[in-house]
Amino acid sequence: MTEILSSTDAQGVATLTFNRPDALNALSETMAVELCSRLDRLTQDPSVRAIVLTGAGRAFMAGGDVNAMRAALDLPAARRTRAIGKLVRHAQVAVATIARSPKPILASVNGAAAGFGLALVAACDVAIAADNASFTSAYNRLGTSPDGGASFTLPRLLGTRVAAQWLYLDERHSADDALRVGLVNWVVPAAELASATRERAERLAELSPVAFSHTKHLIADAPGRTLDAQLLAEQRGFLACASQADFREGTNAFAERRAPRFPIRTEEPKP
């Protein structure tokens, strides 16, 4: 039986591939449960240094499974709410897990990213897209408001006005559009996406896990802090990093004019 979410692991990089290509990788409840489970395990696995999310076939992810949600509409109100609510809750848990992940998560967008697919790209730490990728919110077209943290991440990435345009109008945006507004970090020819993703993921896997975790939390928490509070948080983070073996390795590597080699740990660093 074909896995609905396949995974590979090499050189500290774990890749999760949404594997419902005939349905453009639409998020079913089964896939959502599996995504939450796999992300939870991988973010806690010390041997995994970076995680890649991508899709099989022509799409990254074309949002939630609309056919399943349509089927639930004929259920009594309480059952309908439970059925659709389960899918939304699992999607939200996946995004929250990404936000808490102490290791970098890279979205590799190989085609359409719509609805929750768009939200998932925005939730990842960095993103790379094929030049034929496309992005749309699709929520208003379905008569619903966003999920997957899109109303939180998109205004922070794109700015409030641009995020409003993307979420209200359901326009189809190109990979170059996504690069211009800051949704993705890199755009590469479609034929080079796999190799370019691997190269970026391996670079992320070489980062100091301690430094990455602190830096991620500093970036995420900065909008809610005053400058003085952020400066204090930076000071605490720097000193916490300086007490770890990675700082010793990094300073030695600097003095010896070589690339640092941060070791794999038996447990994850705490920010």
The domain 5-205 is placed in CATH, from the list 3.40.50.360, 3.90.226.10, 3.40.50.170, 3.40.50.300, at 3.90.226.10
What pLDDT is recorded for position 270? 53
Whole-angstrom distance, CA of residue 28 vs CA of residue 69 = 9
C-beta separation of 146 from 167 below 8 A: yes
Mean pLDDT for all residues in the chain: 92
Q: What percent of the chain lies above the pLDDT cut of 70? A: 96
Mean pLDDT across 90-99: 96
Whole-angstrom distance, CA of residue 207 vs CA of residue 45 = 16
Domain boundaries, the chain: 5-205, 209-255
Residue 51: helix, strand or coil by DSSP?
A: strand
What pLDDT is recorded for position 266? 45
Confidence of residue 271 (pLDDT cuts 50, 70, 90): low
- Strands 50-55 and 105-109, by their bridges, are parallel
pLDDT digits (tens, 9 = 90+) for 75-93: 888 888 888 888 899 999 9
Mean pLDDT across 24-53: 94
Give me the amino acid identity at 253.
A
- Note the CATH architecture for domain 209-255: Orthogonal Bundle (1.10)
Q: 199 or 269: which carries more pLDDT confidence?
A: 199
Q: What percent of the chain lies above the pLDDT cut of 90? A: 81
Whole-angstrom distance, CA of residue 248 vs CA of residue 250 = 5
Mean pLDDT across 26-36: 94
pLDDT digits (tens, 9 = 90+) for 108-144: 999 999 999 999 999 999 999 999 999 999 998 889 9
DSSP sequence for 148-210: TTHHHHHHHHH-HHHHHHHHHH---EEHHHHHHHTS-SEEE-GGGHHHHHHHHHHHHHTS-HH
Number of neighbouring beta carbons within 10 Å of residue 8: 10
Question: For residue 239, what are the CA distances in angstroms to 37, 123, 211, 216?
Answer: 33, 28, 11, 16
The sheet with strand 105-109 has its strands ordered as 5-10, 13-18, 50-55, 105-109, 126-130, 186-188
**pLDDT beyond 80 at 267:** no
pTM of the shown model: 0.91
